[in-house]
Amino acid sequence: MPQKTPSSPKVAIIGAGAVGSTAAYATTIKNVASEVILIDINDSKEEGEVMDIADGLCFVETGCIKGADFKDARDADVIVITAGVPQKEGETRLDLVNKNIKITKSIFKSIGKLKKDTIVIMVANPVDILTRIVQQITKLPKGQVFGSGTSLDTARLRTELGHELKVSPQNIDGYVIGEHGDTEFVCWSNAYVGSKPLMDVIESMTELKLSDLEEIHNDVKNAAYEIIKRKNATYYGIGMTLVSITSAIINNDNRIVPISVYNNGIYDIEKDLYIGLPAVLNSNGVHHVVKIKLNEKENEQLLHSAKVLKDILKQMKF
Ligand code: NAD
């Protein structure tokens, strides 16, 4: 399919809570779209967030940010779904599933028929499960529906490794993959610092040891729990992650991002599943999933993560 870059990109963000309003703010200040619309069932919250962000429009190139009705999302180029019940302290993302399925269904019922090339990014948790639900509800091509997946976790990994190695996070390449949740894992065998494999870097230094990697993995995996314990929600990191994904779509970047994508059998895991894997993103959505060579342990971890998601899909009410 030929790639298209919208001349006046419109981004609709559903949910004006902590994540949605931060994503709207980040999208506005990064000048990614001509128009940003924010939609929430709580009209007063939606209005307040829009008024607050709009106060700064004279400092940016984004043409407008406004509150809107669900049906106004029909012609958006990108729809970002952040509406949902947030994770509570001690609650896993998977506990949220049935509550957020109901909300997701009601949103698409209210929006109605989407334009056929709309791209939908799911953010509400459990993101891998809900992304599959969104694709089933919207019947959009599978590449046009994906979830934020392990992109935030990967950003956390890059920041932490950069900090440990005293290198910019931008020079750390590597992915957290699998479920966005407790079974996610780091592909250490494919992590690079500049062009050097991380494992070679570690061998030649004393500050970071192989035994520290498990701790870094745990920090990344538990970051949301730790942030929620201190301030009840996480939103800045995901807000910045979302604007980077949205801009990869609108600017047709062909950027590799670890997102929750439909597994079509490229990895040796259960099919008919959305799960966090690196994929090339452009203005058509997911162009293709990138196959990276996993070692035996990583392969087992991916199989386990996929099985956990598959078991939830079997149990949930949809
Ligand atoms: P929040 O409670 O601050 O905001 C949720 C908003 O959704 C509220 O404003 C609420 O009014 C709105 N809402 C509820 N039902 C709605 C409906 N039917 N239509 C429109 N709006 C509706 O929660 P939050 O902190 O913004 O988190 C939102 C979701 O994002 C949660 O599921 C959370 O777990 C998830 N999250 C995901 C990631 C990620 O990496 N994927 C990161 C952080 C948070």
Calculate the CA dihedral of residues 136, 119, 26, 241 and round it to 10 degrees: 70
Calpha distance 42→64 (Å, rounded) = 21
**Is the C-beta atom of 124 inside 6 A of ligand 1?**
yes
pLDDT beneath 70, residues of the chain: 1-4, 87, 92-94, 317
> Which SS3 state, helix, strand or coil, does residue 119 take?
strand
- Each as own residue / partner, the long-range contacts of residues 106-110 (CB below 8 Å, 24 or more positions apart, any chain) are 107/14, 107/70, 107/81, 107/83, 108/134, 108/137, 108/138, 110/70, 110/71
pTM above 0.85, yes or no: yes
Question: Using CA positions, which residue lies closest to atom 31 of ligand 1?
Answer: 86
Calpha distance 296→299 (Å, rounded) = 5
For the domain made up of 151-315, give the CATH fold.
Answer: L-2-Hydroxyisocaproate Dehydrogenase; Chain A, domain 2 (3.90.110)
DSSP states along 258-288: EEEEE--SSSSS-SS-EEEEEEEEETTEEEE
Closest CA to 157 of 269, 255, 278: 278
**Is the C-beta atom of 107 inside 6 A of ligand 1?**
yes
For the record, the structure tokens of 87 come out as 């994770």
Q: State residue 4's pLDDT score.
A: 64
Q: State residue 95's pLDDT score.
A: 72
175, 258 Cβ separation under 8 angstroms: yes
C-alpha 83 to ligand 1 mean position (Å): 4
Q: State residue 87's pLDDT score.
A: 67
C-alpha 80 to ligand 1 mean position (Å): 11
Calpha distance 143→119 (Å, rounded) = 8
Which residue is it, tokens 């996993």? 294
For domain 10-147, the CATH architecture is: 3-Layer(aba) Sandwich (3.40)
What ranges do the domains of the chain cover?
Answer: 10-147, 151-315
Calpha distance 30→179 (Å, rounded) = 29
Amino acid at 245: I
C-alpha 89 to ligand 1 mean position (Å): 15
191 Cβ partners below 8 Å, 6+ apart?
161, 172, 173, 174, 175, 197, 198, 199
306, 178 Cβ separation under 8 angstroms: yes
Q: State residue 3's pLDDT score.
A: 57
Q: State residue 270's pLDDT score.
A: 85
Ligand 1 atom, smallest distance to 96 CA: 32
Q: State residue 94's pLDDT score.
A: 65
Substitution site in 13, 19, 184, 259 for ligand 1 pocket (most atoms within 8 Å of beta carbon): 19
- Indicate if 304 belongs to the active site: no
Substitution site in 41, 152, 156 for ligand 1 pocket (most atoms within 8 Å of beta carbon): 41
Q: State residue 206's pLDDT score.
A: 75
> Which SS3 state, helix, strand or coil, does residue 173 take?
strand
Q: How many residues does the chain have?
A: 318
Ligand 1 atom, smallest distance to 86 CA: 31
Ligand 1 atom, smallest distance to 103 CA: 18
State the catalytic residue, choosing from 163, 180, 287, 304.
Answer: 180
